[in-house]
Amino acid sequence: MSEKTFAGNYFEDFRVGQVIRHATPRTITEGDVALYTALYGPRFAINSSDSFARALGLPRAPVDDVLAFHIVFGKTVPDISLNAVANLGYANGRFGVPVYPGDTISTTSTVTGLKENSNGRTGVVYVNSVGVNQRGEVVLDYTRWVMVTKGDPAAPTPEPVVPQLPDVVPADSLVVPELAIEQYDRVLAGSPFGWNDYAVGERIDHVDGMTIEEAEHQLATRLYQNTAKVHFDQFAANSNRFGRRLIYGGHIISLARCLSFNGLGNAFTLLAINAGSHANPTFAGDTIYAHSEVLDSFELPGAPGLGALRLRTVATKDHPASDFPYKVDGRYHPDVVLDLDYTVALPR
C-alpha cells in the first residue's frame, strides 16, 4: 500500500487521553433532510414542517436528532473504527442545541479507555466524541466503545483503563428544549397521546415493517460520510464470513426511531442515548420491525409542559414485533438486531 493511503488506526495506535480532531466538517442542508425523509419516512411534525416548528418558538424545523447523531458519528469512523471488528456499545449520549440546515458540524474525540482482549489480537477502545456546530455549541456528546484489531500482534499491552459510565444519563444533565409547548398541535403531530398517557412498563408494538435494500443503506451511510469498508464492498465481502455487505448499525437506529412514530408520535425529540447495542448484524433484504417499552417516566426541571420517558426500543429482523422478542436466557433473541435505551421528551 502507498504511504499516502490511510489504513486507519489500530489498537496500539490509541493512547488514553489522546484527543483526535476529526476531518471533514459537514454543513447539513435541506438536501440531507430530504434524503433522510426518503430513506426512513420520519413523520415527527417538528422536523417535517417549518410552520409547526415556528409555532413552538423555533426559527425553523430542526433536523432529526438521529440524523445529527449520524453526522457526528460519521466523522469519527476514519480515525476510530476503520479497523473495528465490532461496535460494542454506546453510553452517556446527551443531545445539545438543535441542528438546523446550514449548520456545520465537526467532531472531536478523546480516548477515555483501552483494554486489550485476552487473545492479544484485539482490544476495546473507548472514545468520548463531541459534535459541535459552527459556533462551537455542543450538539451531541456521547461515548462509544469498539473492538479494534491490533496491527502488530506483538505491540505491547497497555495498562487497562475502563471509564466509568452512567447506566442512564442523569435527568439533571439533560438539555431540555425551550419551547412554547402550549402551541403544540397534537392533530397535526399525528398522535393524541402525551407524556401523562404512558405508564412505566407499558409496551408498544410499532406494527409496521420496512425492508432494506442495498442501495438504501449505501446511500445513507455515504450521506453520513461513514467510510467503513464493510458496508460498501461486495467483492471483498464475498470472502468474509457473511458473504454480504453489513448494514451500518445506525441505519437500524433510524428505521426503529421512524417506525416508533406509530405509538410514540409525540416523542418529538431525543434528549439522551443511555445505552445501545447492535445485537445481531443486518443485511439487505431484512425487514425491520420495532417495539418499545417505557422504562421510566420523569418530569423535566424548568419545563412544566414537557415530560420525559426513558424507552427501550428493540428492532427485529424478519420477525414482527407482536410477541415482543427481546432476550432468551439472558441472551438476545437471534432476530433482535438493536437494543436502544434512550430518553425522549413529550408534551404532557
Contacting a copy of itself within 100-129 (CB under 8 A): 101-102, 104, 106
Residue span binding a copy of itself (CB under 8 A) among the ranges 36-44, 87-95, 144-152, 157-165: 36-44
Site membership for a copy of itself, residue 2 (CB under 8 A): yes
Min separation Cβ 180 and a copy of itself, Å:
17
Q: How far is the CB of 69 from a copy of itself (least distance, A)?
A: 17
Residue with cell 426559527: 59
Among 134, 173, 183, 196, binds a copy of itself (CB under 8 A): 134
Stretch that binds a copy of itself, among 92-100, 191-199, 303-311, 337-345 (CB under 8 A): 191-199
Q: State yes or no: residue 144 binds a copy of itself (CB under 8 A).
A: no
Residue 98: name the closest of 122, 67, 76 by CA. Answer: 67
Binding of a copy of itself by 25 (CB under 8 A): yes
Q: Which is nearer to a copy of itself, 273 or 346 (CB)?
A: 346
> Per CB under 8 A, does 142 bind a copy of itself?
no
Helix (H) or strand (E) holding 210: strand 210-211
Residue 146 or 259 having the CB closest to a copy of itself: 259
Contacts 24+ apart (CB under 8 A), 244-248: 244/283, 244/284, 245/214, 245/217, 245/218, 245/283, 245/284, 246/281, 246/282, 246/283, 247/212, 247/217, 247/281, 247/282, 247/283, 247/284, 247/286, 248/217, 248/220, 248/221, 248/224
- Indicate which single residue of 190, 277, 295, 298 sits in contact with a copy of itself (rule: CB under 8 A): 190
Between CA 293 and CA 280 the distance in angstroms is: 20
E strands, 66-137, are: 84-95, 104-116, 122-132
Per-residue CA distances from 314 to 129, 276, 320, 328 (Å): 24, 10, 11, 14
Q: Three cell numbers at 337?
A: 438486531
Cell digits for 178? Answer: 425551550
Q: In the bound complex, what is the minimum distance in angstroms from residue 314's beta carbon to a copy of itself?
A: 14
What length is written for the chain?
A: 348
Identity of residue 16:
V
Task: Please identify, among the stretches 9-17, 117-125, 174-182, 183-191, the one whose residues bind a copy of itself according to the rule CB under 8 A.
Answer: 183-191
Residue 160: CB minimum distance to a copy of itself, A: 29
Find out whether 267 and 194 touch, Cβ atoms under 8 Å: no
Footprint of a copy of itself on 60-89 (CB under 8 A): 61, 78
Residue 345: all three cell numbers together = 421528551
Q: At its nearest, how many Å lie between a copy of itself and the CB of residue 129?
A: 16
**Closest residue by Cα to residue 285 from 205, 208, 217:** 217
H or E segment at 74? helix 65-80
Least CB distance to a copy of itself at residue 76 (A): 12
Q: What residues from 195 to 224 belong to the interface with a copy of itself (CB under 8 A)?
A: 197-198, 202-211, 213-216, 218-223
Residues numbered 149-178 forming contacts with a copy of itself, rule: CB under 8 A: none
Binding residues for a copy of itself restricted to 235-294, rule: CB under 8 A: 235-236, 245, 262-265, 285, 287
**Does residue 320 interact with a copy of itself by CB under 8 A?**
yes
CA distance 286 to 53: 34
Site for a copy of itself in 84-103 (CB under 8 A): 101-102
**For residue 235, how far is the Cα from the chain centroid?**
28
Using CB under 8 A, pick the residue from 153, 170, 322, 328 that binds a copy of itself.
322
Binding of residue 234 to a copy of itself (CB under 8 A): yes
Q: Does 334 bind a copy of itself (CB under 8 A)?
A: no
